[in-house]
Structure 1
Amino acid sequence: MQGIIIKGIGGFYYVKTEDGNIFECKARGKFRFDELTPIVGDRVDIEVQNGKGVIDKIHERKSKLIRPLVANVNQAFVVFAVKNPDLNLELLNKFLVLCDYNNVKSILCLNKTDLCSEEEYMNIEKIMENLGYEVLHIRAKEGYGIDKLKAKLKDNITVLCGPSGVGKSTLLNSLIGKSYMETGEVSLKIGRGKHTTRHSELIEVEQGLMVDTPGFSTVDLSFIEKEQLQFCFPEFKPYLNNCRFSSCLHNKEPHCAVKEALNDKKINPYRYEFYIKTLEEISQGRNKKWQK
């Protein structure tokens, strides 16, 4: 039978087959020799005897995220709060770059918009101009904006990602229409969510699948090659072939179409600043490795 791994805990994998049944499975030992481990989201072939299954084949993955460890995701709801905790633009950009690197379409969900003042809201709107992504303003506790997100779930595997305390679990509960996970108030002392998701798990909702993920406060981009970083910024793509030099990194090179678009206000200056900072960090990291 064929199915999809919806949960994995302690070496056991829970596979939902095409007829809707769920089987607890172990993986065959042959996968260890191929250095291949089944993960949530994998399409698999299984054999079942006496109600217990064995994973016999893992189909080729269309995508693979490392953190969260999940396969075949094609869409991400990147959830950030505008207040409590305050919007962390650098971390937000890191999430967006990571999704683009893995060929996952990002939809930015700004939560708790009712907590900020009109002035703060206008400032956030300015920051979000020409971002290159669809931006939705939501209030997960009240259900505001939830219908727009539900309409995007059908036939997709969607990852729900973002830092702790931004309302991901509340949003998940709103999307599936029941209290799937306990939600906790943000601790005033540390500004983080009390609730922590323990593992990745696929949840069936609106004729699609969602994966809730642990909240975390750091994202590492050092593994990205500096030449590849530019392709993780969708707003750069219309201009990449118009630079004078084919090897242009859009930093100090002359006759750069990306910098011209920046000057013409077609590219968000906050995003460009983040791009340059990340480019320099990647370059410095490579130099340190060579020096060793």
Structure 2
Amino acid sequence: MRTGRIVKLVSGVYQVDVKGELFNTKPRGLFRKKKLSPIVGDMVDFEVENEKEGYIYHIHERKNFLKRPPVSNIDRLIIVMSAKSPDFSAQLLDRFLVIAHSYHLKPQIIVTKVDLLSDEEYEQLNQQLAIYDQLGYMVNTKGQDDTTSTLFKDIAGELIVLSGQSGVGKSTLLNQLNPELSLETQHISKALNRGRHTTRHVELYSINNGYIADTPGFSALDFDHIDKEQLKHHFREINEAGALCKFRDCMHLKEPQCYVKAKVENGDISQMRYNHYVQLYEELAQRKERY
């Protein structure tokens, strides 16, 4: 019996890495009975049937996981946004952050293609990013000529997930870290202002003694696992200020003596972030009503 990490899943075959040695494996039927499927990132025990193939018998307990795309045992989730093509969207960034916090993941933010901005656009972007910096998020910006090695130099033993919409430069980042990967990249569709999907499955790449996952670009974000009552806990500043509201079940919308709304009014909480909270809350409320 050997133990390794699943680094790739294609057509029902799970590729398992054991100290740099790769094995193609399939799960035993017992997983179907338990309605349990291995996913990329899982630590598994498997039996070698011949030189490079085998069967998975046991999945180790996961410390965390993402439902979509399915990845487990994540140490850091890096949200990759682009400054231009596709244009930076603070609303989309906040939605990615909500997803990250809902799965108890530690998010970091990278904004690519800043060299494509005018001086005025660059200043506007920095003003928005300053909000996230003040909230304690690690924020990095890079242009096409920047080296990425400093961003990922201390990842030994870690599993990092790169997440973001199509066309923001996730595959380009990985190619810069390891040119031997030669991952496919594509130009942006000007009509849609977003990239075409170049990554079609989740795969872990071994880089700097750790793993980095390139995930398919998101055409839509899945909030099905989040109740509207829980949403306030996934906005750091709203969650913190909400502890001082008069009513414990305050949703920070129309309730009296709401400390969050008071902080928004005096500028201590970003009006932009609060608006994004209200928008998403209303979407979640309408979704529940439909069902």
Q: For 1:165-214, what per-residue CA distance to the aligned partner results, in whole angstroms no more than 9, with x for missing partners? A: 11111111112344430222223444333451121011111222111011
- In the TM superposition, 1:1-292 aligns within 5 A as 1-17=2-18, 19-51=19-51, 52-131=53-132, 132=135, 133-139=137-143, 141-144=144-147, 146-194=148-196, 196-289=198-291
Q: Using a 3 Å threshold, how does the CA distance of structure 1 residues 258 and 129 change in structure 2: closer, same or farther?
A: farther
Contact 1:5–1:16 (8 Å) recurs in 2: yes
Question: Per-residue deviation at 1:240?
Answer: 3.0
Any idea what SS the aligned residue of 1:95 has? helix
* Equivalent residue letter for 1:14: Q
Q: Using a 3 Å threshold, how does the CA distance of structure 1 residues 284 and 74 change in structure 2: closer, same or farther?
A: same
- In the superposition, the TM-score normalised over structure 2's length comes to 0.91
Measure the CA separation in 1 of the matches of 2:222 and 2:68: 10
Q: For 1:149-180, what per-residue CA distance to the aligned partner results, in whole angstroms no more than 9, with x for missing partners? A: 21353332111111111111111111234443
Q: Using a 3 Å threshold, how does the CA distance of structure 1 residues 151 and 272 change in structure 2: closer, same or farther?
A: farther
Any idea what SS the aligned residue of 2:280 has? helix
Measure the CA separation in 2 of the matches of 1:178 and 1:256: 55
Question: Per-residue deviation at 1:256?
Answer: 2.1
Measure the CA separation in 2 of the matches of 1:283 and 1:227: 9
Q: Using a 3 Å threshold, how does the CA distance of structure 1 residues 235 and 74 change in structure 2: closer, same or farther?
A: farther
Q: For 1:25-52, what per-residue CA distance to the aligned partner results, in whole angstroms no more than 9, with x for missing partners? A: 1101000010001110011111113222
Measure the CA separation in 1 of the matches of 2:208 and 2:65: 23
Measure the CA separation in 2 of the matches of 1:192 and 1:37: 32
Q: Using a 3 Å threshold, how does the CA distance of structure 1 residues 186 and 272 change in structure 2: closer, same or farther?
A: same
Q: For 1:230-277, what per-residue CA distance to the aligned partner results, in whole angstroms no more than 9, with x for missing partners? A: 121123343232221111111112222222332332322211101011
Question: Per-residue deviation at 1:143?
Answer: 2.6
Q: Using a 3 Å threshold, how does the CA distance of structure 1 residues 14 and 186 change in structure 2: closer, same or farther?
A: same
Contact 1:143–1:174 (8 Å) recurs in 2: no
Measure the CA separation in 2 of the matches of 1:180 and 1:117: 30
* Equivalent residue letter for 1:135: V
Contact 1:130–1:235 (8 Å) recurs in 2: no
* Equivalent residue letter for 1:200: V
Any idea what SS the aligned residue of 2:232 has? helix
Measure the CA separation in 1 of the matches of 2:156 and 2:247: 42
Question: Per-residue deviation at 1:222?
Answer: 4.1
Measure the CA separation in 1 of the matches of 2:110 and 2:13: 33
- The root-mean-square deviation of aligned C-alpha atoms, in Å, is 1.8
- In the superposition, the TM-score normalised over structure 1's length comes to 0.91
Measure the CA separation in 1 of the matches of 2:280 and 2:237: 16
Measure the CA separation in 1 of the matches of 2:181 and 2:73: 26
Task: Report the identity percentage.
Answer: 40
Structure 2: gaps (5+ residues): none
